[in-house]
């Protein structure tokens, strides 16, 4: 039964990290987007969070993607007077997304995802060895 718990916990980690990578990808994709009209706000960076979920059937605590909040830091301003989204001063608001920070977060999520895959692989190997021992 502990093998099932281990697999369930690692699988929840995979789902949570995959959701985190989706949000980070959305941030990166919108890093250079501009608002549709002058004075409008551009895309605002999203920040994922995690929360604990209890699986009562297995009696384990799993992780899941929690609420996604928006980053309220300042937008980047660029002086581009000819841009369609420029305000009366010629400034265009760009998203508050830092691609370097997003890539660092993506790398961390990728490593966590890989760690969960390694847990699942090790658990499968142990299960297979146990079955092999029981066959003999």
Query: Residue 20 is encoded by which pair of tokens?
Result: 């985190």
Question: Could you tell me which residues are beta bridge partners of residue 61?
Answer: 54
Burial class from Cβ neighbours inside 10 Å (0-12, 13-18, 19+) for residue 70 reads: exposed
Token pair recorded at residue 71? 């980053």
Beta strand ranges found along 4-86 (DSSP E) = 46-47, 50-55, 60-65, 69-70, 76-79
Per-residue pLDDT of the chain (136 residues; tens, 9 = 90+): 589 999 999 999 999 999 999 999 999 999 999 998 888 899 999 999 999 999 999 999 999 999 999 999 999 999 999 999 999 999 999 999 999 999 999 999 999 999 999 999 999 999 999 999 999 8
CB under 8 A, 24+ apart: contacts of 106-109: 106/21, 106/24, 106/25, 106/28, 109/17, 109/20, 109/21, 109/24
Where exactly are the structural domains of the chain?
Answer: 2-135
């Amino acid at each position: 039964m502990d093998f099932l718990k281990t697999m369930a916990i690692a699988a929840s980690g995979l789902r949570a990290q995959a959701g985190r990578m989706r949000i980070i990808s959305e941030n990166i994709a919108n890093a250079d987007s501009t608002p549709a009209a002058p004075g409008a706000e551009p895309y605002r960076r999203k920040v994922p969070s995690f929360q604990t979920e209890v699986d009562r059937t297995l009696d384990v605590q799993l992780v899941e993607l929690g609420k996604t909040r928006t980053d309220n830091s300042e937008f980047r301003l660029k002086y581009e007077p000819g841009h369609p989204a420029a305000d009366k001063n010629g400034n265009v608001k760009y998203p508050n997304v830092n691609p370097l920070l997003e890539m660092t977060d993506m790398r961390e999520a990728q490593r966590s995802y890989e760690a969960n895959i390694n847990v699942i692989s090790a658990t499968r190997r142990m299960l297979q060895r146990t079955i092999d021992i029981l066959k003999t």
